[in-house]
Structure 1
Amino acid sequence: MLNPAVSPDEEPLDSRRLQQFLCVAEHSSFSRAADQLHLSQQALSSSVAKLEAQLGVPLFDRTGRQVRLTAAGQALFDGASVLLAAGQVLARQVRDAAATERRPFVVAHTPAVTAEEVHGLLGPVRSQMPEVSVTAVQMFPGDLESGVLDGTVDLALRRGTTAPATLAAAVIAYHPLRIAVARGHHLAAHHTIAIRDLRDERIVVWAPPGASFYTDFILSNCRRAGFEPSLVVPRIQGTTPTSAVLDHPDAVAFVTAPSGAALGGAVHVIDITDPPLAPVQAIWLPHTRSAVRDLLITGDSHARSHRRVPE
């Protein structure tokens, strides 16, 4: 029996129908989706038709050989995976609430955000929620969003400012950039350096321009200093950023590591005059709640005092 306080167009969307809709959209075919779901094509078509009737709009254009999403179908496709993921997270939180041993809160970070920086950002949780277990894992940027969507990651940290289309995001910290050089590099004796002094240097980046916010951020700062940089992408990925110059001892790398000797003296990190501030962006699944995540995003007064905001 329908709730009389809820009109038909406000009825909750059925999660199973949404999953079936997503499968059809991903395969661009009712027959292939039916095989994948182990349903008859008639049953799957009926399920999607009921979803279309509930929403009052067609979700697929069925005029060609392949079914294609309509504008309304695309809107549902963009939001359905997030909605279903939020439901799975809620179910897990309910089970966790009854469990004697709580699941760790998982924070993923890209190699551009070092493990030491993650530890610093966890300061509010360490001090205000000492009973919470947190696991930090390093992931490549392309894997962060899928990790958040499938629930294996509770909060992801990366260098960036543009929010993903289907996820929530906020910049929670800024770290000053410095320059890393190999011990034998001609700049290694410097204590400070200006970005404009790097015009004749090769600069290590971890992805080509256009493929990484961090690369584009470095590129824009070089251009602001009046030169077009010569870029090199290292063969070894995923290690600490300061290690990049070990395989390219004639090059320099922008890092956020503390100034001074690094990696046992093999690398020297140099302060930049008026350094650019590299953002740390947190991304998470919308439509979900988490006290740990809220504390990590907002921090406390001490944590915020160390998060410089550019003027």
Structure 2
Amino acid sequence: MLPVPDLRRLTHFIAVAESAGFTSAATQLHLSQQALSHSVQQLEKEIGVTLLVRSGRRVTLTAAGATLLEEGRAVLAAARTLTAHTRAAASAQRDEFVIGHSPAISNHAVYALIEAAIAASPDTSFTIVQLFPDRLTAGVRDGAVQLGLRRAVVPQELLAGAVIGYDPLRVAVPADHPLAARSRIRIADLADELIALWAPPGASYYSDFLVNACRRAGFEPQYRVSRVQGCPPEVAALTENAVAFVTAPAGPALDGTVAVVDLDEPLLVPIQALWQPHTSSAVRNLILRRRT
């Protein structure tokens, strides 16, 4: 049987690796450098590999050390989640399940995904928070967010994930826009329009998805990053005086100030769920079973 690393020593090693040395890591951990160095050496003996190359006051990671750093973070996060779940089970308080979602997914869409899980989990409180993709993945990694939801399908190292649904894209335009009177439009009809995005291309896989859809239609889109975040995506049609890709139903929106129009050729965008590996959750399982 392979040896299992001691979590305390693993914490010490990660602190040293992230600090690139023992001095600041020892201060952070309130340990002497000698005690910290001994702890890491014991971890190396425990696993049977060299993790660090020491050069004066600085250290560099071996290939084995780099692997342990990345995967060890996930193990520590899972251990913290385990502790939280165990304490919750011993208390009279309700379990809390935190769901984070990117700005590209509306609160209405999130509720539709979790409605059945809410009904089936009367002893659980649910909190839904909107987070930008980088904060979303960081929250899932450290256990602050139990389930992350984002657009597009993006491999996430050290996170578990699955596509749990697809939504048809439509286009939102101001109600007085010439395209508002159409029953259907083509993406190619947007070639001369300003398109609202929620993040710059290259910084958001959803933005990349939308830009590539325009390129497939034969044009390089003109775009502006929306200056209003956290509201329904249709709002961007007003605040940016632009067209916006949305998943809201076709028809009037925002008290008739915006029109949502179907695309002539359906374009489906996925919802990707992300969660912390090495953990289990009955509530999460209920949500994932909704996968379409």
Q: Please state if 1:26 is matched with 2:14.
A: no
Cα deviations by residue, 1:107-136 (Å, 9 ceiling, x for unpaired): 111111110101110133134334433221
Q: Please state if 1:275 is matched with 2:255.
A: no
- Partner Cα distance (1:56, 1:99) in 2: 40
Corresponding residue to 2:235 among 243, 248, 270: 243
Matches within 5 A, 1:1-311: 6=1, 10-63=2-55, 66-249=58-241, 251-299=242-290, 307=292
Q: Secondary structure at the match of 1:281?
A: strand
Cα deviations by residue, 1:119-172 (Å, 9 ceiling, x for unpaired): 110133134334433221111211112211222211010112112111101110
CA shift for structure 1 position 247: 1.8
| Aligned-partner residue type, residue 263 of structure 2 | I
- Partner Cα distance (1:130, 1:275) in 2: 38
Moved more, 238-247 or 40-49: 238-247
Per the alignment, residue 3 of structure 1 pairs with none
| Aligned-partner residue type, residue 255 of structure 1 | V
- Partner Cα distance (2:64, 2:179) in 1: 57
- Partner Cα distance (1:246, 1:93) in 2: 44
| Aligned-partner residue type, residue 75 of structure 2 | L
CA shift for structure 1 position 13: 1.0
Cα deviations by residue, 1:29-84 (Å, 9 ceiling, x for unpaired): 11111111111111111111111111221111223652111111000001111101
Q: Secondary structure at the match of 2:98?
A: strand
- Partner Cα distance (1:49, 1:275) in 2: 58
Moved more, 93-102 or 31-40: 93-102
| Aligned-partner residue type, residue 298 of structure 1 | R
Check the 8 A contact 1:140/1:238 in 2, yes or no: no
- Partner Cα distance (2:89, 2:123) in 1: 14
- Partner Cα distance (2:140, 2:118) in 1: 22
- Partner Cα distance (2:84, 2:226) in 1: 40
| Aligned-partner residue type, residue 156 of structure 1 | G
Which consecutive residues of structure 2, in runs of 5 or more, have no partner in the other structure? none
Name the one with the larger strand percent: 2
- Partner Cα distance (1:160, 1:25) in 2: 32
- Partner Cα distance (1:182, 1:26) in 2: 49
Question: RMSD in angstroms over aligned alpha carbons?
Answer: 1.5
| Aligned-partner residue type, residue 272 of structure 1 | L
| Aligned-partner residue type, residue 26 of structure 1 | E
- Partner Cα distance (1:123, 1:234) in 2: 29
| Aligned-partner residue type, residue 244 of structure 2 | A
Relative to structure 1, the CA distance from residue 191 to residue 72 in structure 2 (aligned partners, 3 Å threshold; closer, same or farther) is same
Q: Secondary structure at the match of 2:179?
A: coil
| Aligned-partner residue type, residue 25 of structure 1 | A
| Aligned-partner residue type, residue 123 of structure 1 | E
- Partner Cα distance (2:47, 2:159) in 1: 23
